[in-house]
Structure 1
């Protein structure tokens, strides 16, 4: 009996994104207080950087320094370098713990579900996908774990390893080729409407996040200029 037909890259991504969202919810629940404190620290570091830049701009305006010279002043300003370093440290301290927690939970989540009798994570099961080995048989827990470990190479290749899953005829990503596995479709039904909406909302959500970041920077810079100019 056939193990199933090769599946498309968009369907694989949809399944992964559903699993990733579930893992992200767990990470946020576990690290909620740390994330809030880290975000506050990033805001304070951004405000300090904005205040330093605003002070330099005000001083340059009083001295009649042209914009090109101001850029050179910023590059040589130790106070500005220190403020940038503090912001970098704050952002790293905010992002690294949840990223490491996500990576660890993802390894357990994907290897555990795909190495089980279901041969699929909840996201894959919802979309009728299953992981098999090159012979069409269920992958062993060791092979499933190897598949997840090899997935680091697919990420490290700037997602070129994942894009290989779009190539016919077997549609194997880089980590599938290393582990000797395939993702096959065992359900011929079309993608459910809620999943299509989930995919459609991801790009607007990214734009909203970018807009929020730009607003935070604008607020910080405006507040720093108001403070420096005594407004």
Structure 2
């Protein structure tokens, strides 16, 4: 690892919120992609199970809907039938188990890899992960000094509190003057921004954030269309 760059003249300032977001998402790509690669076989098996379970659920729901519509039932009767139908409960249980088997192993591995990634880099001479360093950020204690590996690990682990508070813990990074997120307050750290980095994000960082929003929209639309197609196929098979 090369020596860290010499800081620009002038004091560092609390890091801007979007700059922190861009840096964090770039850094998380490394452990996440590594975990997905290592768990590729498990993910493929779980995805096949989830697809089969979802098809079974769609067929069960379609059959219940057709039966009740033929009997001139009300929407309330339909909802009650869906809740009481043992076939649908079995299909829902199978779907939830398949999703858990697909999602949790890579997430758990990614969390362990991320702990090593963030703690090691933030305790290093860089005082920053590669993503933070690219955007002129560094992690220090409240006096501006370099933190050790134990505090860096505590900071990362305390990030779970920022997630379980429905991101309110992350939004605390918007509060002046120190702009500390909840996990920074727990660990006694702060994220600062080099004075020469300017107030605006670089164009490439803005493009990176926009790409994430676009991907989220595409994935949501794909899931909706896939569910619609499964229900349509189930109805076509019954009618």
Q: TM bucket by the smaller chain?
A: over 0.9
Show the counterpart of 2:157: 149
Match of 1:42 among 44, 50, 62: 50
**How many aligned residue pairs are there?**
229
| Shift in Å, 1:219 | 1.4
For 1:43-58, what aligned pairs fall within 5 Å after superposition? Answer: 43-58=51-66
The reply on whether 1:119 has 2:131 as its aligned counterpart is no
**Superposed displacement of residue 187, structure 1:** 5.1
Does 2:193 correspond to 1:185? yes
Cα distance in structure 1, aligned partners of 2:78 and 2:162: 43
Q: Are residues 187 and 101 of structure 1, via their aligned partners in 2, closer, same or farther at CA, if it must alter by over 3 Å?
A: farther
Q: Does 1:218 align with 2:199?
A: no
Q: Unaligned 5+ residue runs, structure 2?
A: 1-8
1:93-108 superposed matches below 5 A? 93-108=101-116
CA contact (8 A) 1:127 1:187 kept: no
TM-score, reference length from structure 2: 0.90
Q: Secondary structure at the match of 2:197?
A: coil
Moved more, 116-125 or 199-208: 199-208
Asked whether 1:158 is paired with 2:171, we answer: no
Tell me if the contact between 2:13 and 2:195 (Cα under 8 Å) persists in the aligned partners.
no
Q: Deviations over 1:29-64 (max 9, x none)?
A: 111122122111111110000111112122223333
Runs of 5+ consecutive residues of structure 1 not aligned to the other structure: none
Deviations 1:127-172 (A, max 9, x none): 0100111121110111111111111111111111111111111111
What is the TM-score when the length of structure 1 is the normalising length? 0.93
User: Which has the larger displacement, 2-11 or 127-136?
Assistant: 2-11
Give the Cα–Cα distance (whole angstroms) in 1 for the partners of residues 76 and 155 of structure 2.
52
Aligned pair in 2 of structure 1 residues 3, 23: CA closer, same or farther (>3 Å)? Answer: farther
